[in-house]
Structure 1
Amino acid sequence: MPGGPGADGDGRRRRERDALAAAITVSASALGVCTPNPPVGAVVLDESGEVVGTGATEAPGGRHAEVVALDAAGDRARGGTIVVTLEPCDHHGRTGPCTGRIREAGLARVVYAVSDPNPVASGGAGTLRREGIGVVRADDDEVRAARSGPLRAWLHRQDHGRPLVTWKYAASLDGRVAAADGSSKWITGPVSRRHAHARRQEIDALVVGTGTLRADDPALTARTDDGRPAPRQPLRVVMGLSPVPADARVRGADDRFRHLATRDPAEALALLGDVSHVLVEGGPRLAGAFLAAGLVDEIDAYLAPLVLGAGLSAVSGAGVDTLAAAHGFEIRETTILGDDLHLRLTLTADTTPLTRGPR
């Protein structure tokens, strides 16, 4: 991050770099909560560089991350710095502009990672500079870290006009999601299942097809390690033309259930509205439909150290007839989960610039 020369400048850059890393981390608490707003994180440093406040975006209609952090800091923010993952907004939405709150707090400096090019909400950095507040953008590597963190799915929606789609499956080493007799519980172990339930809390909508509904009658809830419902729950979605029985567990007792009466993945995503991140957990045909439509952006693969030799494949009907037509993905993360291997993959050469819209 830019800063003054010498030891003092180096120390400030180090503190601001650490603060941005902390802001990215705290922003994860907004995942699954703040949609359609972006999951932003903010950290306030006092004049001496000590952390005096942190915050993340609240649910729609609530406070933005900057305001949460400044409320926590109180008078200690005066003369200090706020470090934020996204350029402070400069417009009136459900709440007032963050630029106004920053000015009122008496901050001397603002450091942000991702710029705001949207004409409705942009201009926060310029407004603050005109008011005499020092504003700098983070270094390129820090910007990349912010874009690839909790902001990623929201930014994907701004750029592509649709949610980020993750296909999740659990399979044997030879790609089977069920044995020849149809048994599938449990291919992967308890550590993988806990990891998958934590992932469910971070996304906006969880989608299965009517085939999975008939076979498994899934609840599609996110659960804690002790089996209780997690604090954050995704929208539970069944996609397909068959009706959903009145007593299906997926309906639940809340208003977090949707039936999308379509087999078209693009239409299904449009019907979901302004969600940012969709997790496809349906069976092989649903996965194949999303792949064939070019609508899988990343894959969460949980692989068990088993070979079944026969049984249901992880995907069918993906629109691939030759090796040259295969859908290409790059491995981004590998993690050992108990006896299993978790792979997170993204589309090959996914280098589209990420932008943001109003919040």
Structure 2
Amino acid sequence: MAAAVALGRDAQGTSAPNPNVGCIVVDADGTIVGRGATAPGGRPHAEALALAEAGTRARGGTLFTTLEPCNHRSPRGPACSALIVEAGLARVVVGIVDPDPRTAGAGLKRLEDAGIAVTTDVCADEARDSMAGWLTRQRLGRPRITLKLALSIDGKIALPSGESKWITGEDARAHVHFERAHHDMILVGRGTLQADTPRLDVRLPGLEERSPRRALLSRGEAVTGWEMLRSPQDVFRLHDVNDLLVEGGSATATAFLAADLVDRILLYRAPIIIGEGRQSVGYIGLDAIGDAHGRWEARDGRSLGIDRLEVYERVRSNQAEG
């Protein structure tokens, strides 16, 4: 299952509107004979690809999948639960149950009715984390939103003049490009567009083709090559985006935080002090320090060359799927 989770993670940012599922097929002797991850655009599904690779060697074997196999036929392909029954597998191991009402346990029932042994909730936390974007869209009706901030030690994002290239070093910037490759869309405000003319592409060798769609938060005129969001609330109409990366600048970060739409923060902190300069975030509606506590949980922290990455996730009362 850990290998299936890794396959699914690699498909993050390419599978929308479908979940980024990973799948492994093991034959009756315990040898891996099929691997699959949801294809770009959502089809074929991970199970279909893994079964196609395994062929007849899947009969009597075990299939590991991070998400319950779908139970609904689509114009784009058959139900994965039906493919599994046809393949003659003896056992299916599932990370988490599908919250999509078209499946939601029905896929597992079809397998069990066919005499296939089913085990669920294996590496469930890891599977859930790997598909956090899609699960957020299922639960909240919008993408999972990650806010990226590059700061000095004293919390500034730029000099008073607006100069900000480069606050962080090469390793931190490479990590940002890796994150971009695993998001469906990347968003900035018009101020950042005018000041920096950002490309917002992925410039890591081998991942250049995974540059996300570009979006602009602005009430002004549309810009060729950019999708327009007139307000942060427009994220609720992004039905084909699982993971949205918000990169800048201060006004945009403030708008999303004030609307309580940020689920994850990537904070890249450089070992420099700027002093007087531009703040990363403005007023977000908090009037008491007590109101700020308990909202964010530290999930990761590591060195990236000379810089430090801190990852925080929003603590919400409705974390469970469904």
Give the CA deviation at 1:318: 1.7
2:99–2:138 contact (8 Å) kept in structure 1: no
The answer to whether residue 134 in structure 2 is matched with residue 134 in structure 1 is: no
Distance change in 2, residues 1:39/1:168 (3 Å): same
1:32–1:233 contact (8 Å) kept in structure 2: no
1:287–1:318 contact (8 Å) kept in structure 2: no
Q: What is the DSSP-based 3-state SS (H/G/I as helix, E as strand, rest coil) of the residue aligned with 2:41?
A: coil
Provide the rounded CA distance (Å) in 2 between the counterparts of 1:48 and 1:201: 37
* Residue equivalent to 1:214: 194
Provide the rounded CA distance (Å) in 2 between the counterparts of 1:61 and 1:163: 16
Q: What is the DSSP-based 3-state SS (H/G/I as helix, E as strand, rest coil) of the residue aligned with 1:90?
A: coil
* Residue equivalent to 1:174: 154
Provide the rounded CA distance (Å) in 2 between the counterparts of 1:114 and 1:43: 15
Q: Deviations over 1:8-50 (max 9, x none)?
A: xxxxxxxxxxxx0000001122212110000000000110111
Structure 2, unaligned stretches of length 5 or more?
none
Q: Which runs of 4+ in 1 moved over 6 A?
A: none
1:190 corresponds, among 161, 170, 174, to: 170
Aligned residue identity for 1:110:
V
Distance change in 2, residues 1:271/1:115 (3 Å): closer
Provide the rounded CA distance (Å) in 1 between the counterparts of 2:222 and 2:150: 25
1:343 corresponds, among 296, 301, 310, to: 310
1:36 corresponds, among 9, 17, 31, to: 17
* Residue equivalent to 1:118: 100
2:26 corresponds, among 37, 45, 68, to: 45
TM-score, normalised with respect to structure 1? 0.85
* Residue equivalent to 1:58: 39
2:7–2:37 contact (8 Å) kept in structure 1: yes
Aligned residue identity for 1:338:
G
Distance change in 2, residues 1:137/1:342 (3 Å): same
Give the CA deviation at 1:245: 5.4
1:61–1:95 contact (8 Å) kept in structure 2: no
2:129 corresponds, among 148, 167, 191, to: 148
Q: Deviations over 1:100-150 (max 9, x none)?
A: 1111211111010111243322301111111111111134xx11111112x
Aligned residue identity for 1:347:
R
1:234-273 aligned within 5 A? 234-244=212-222, 251=225, 257-260=226-229, 262=230, 264-266=231-233, 268-273=234-239
1:12-91 aligned within 5 A? 20-60=1-41, 62-91=43-72
1:285–1:317 contact (8 Å) kept in structure 2: no
Provide the rounded CA distance (Å) in 2 between the counterparts of 1:61 and 1:22: 20
Aligned residue identity for 2:248:
G
Provide the rounded CA distance (Å) in 1 between the counterparts of 2:112 and 2:89: 12
Distance change in 2, residues 1:61/1:179 (3 Å): closer
TM-score, normalised with respect to structure 2? 0.94
Provide the rounded CA distance (Å) in 2 between the counterparts of 1:119 and 1:181: 52
* Residue equivalent to 1:164: 144
Q: Deviations over 1:133-181 (max 9, x none)?
A: 1111134xx11111112x1110111011111111101010111010233
1:286-297 aligned within 5 A? 286-297=252-263
Q: What is the DSSP-based 3-state SS (H/G/I as helix, E as strand, rest coil) of the residue aligned with 1:111?
A: strand
* Residue equivalent to 1:299: 265
Give the CA deviation at 1:235: 1.1
1:265–1:289 contact (8 Å) kept in structure 2: yes
Give the CA deviation at 1:350: 5.7
Provide the rounded CA distance (Å) in 2 between the counterparts of 1:114 and 1:61: 18
Q: What is the DSSP-based 3-state SS (H/G/I as helix, E as strand, rest coil) of the residue aligned with 2:82?
A: helix
1:321 corresponds, among 276, 279, 287, to: 287
2:243 corresponds, among 277, 299, 305, to: 277
Q: Across the two proteins, how many residue pairs are aligned to each other?
A: 319
Distance change in 2, residues 1:88/1:285 (3 Å): same
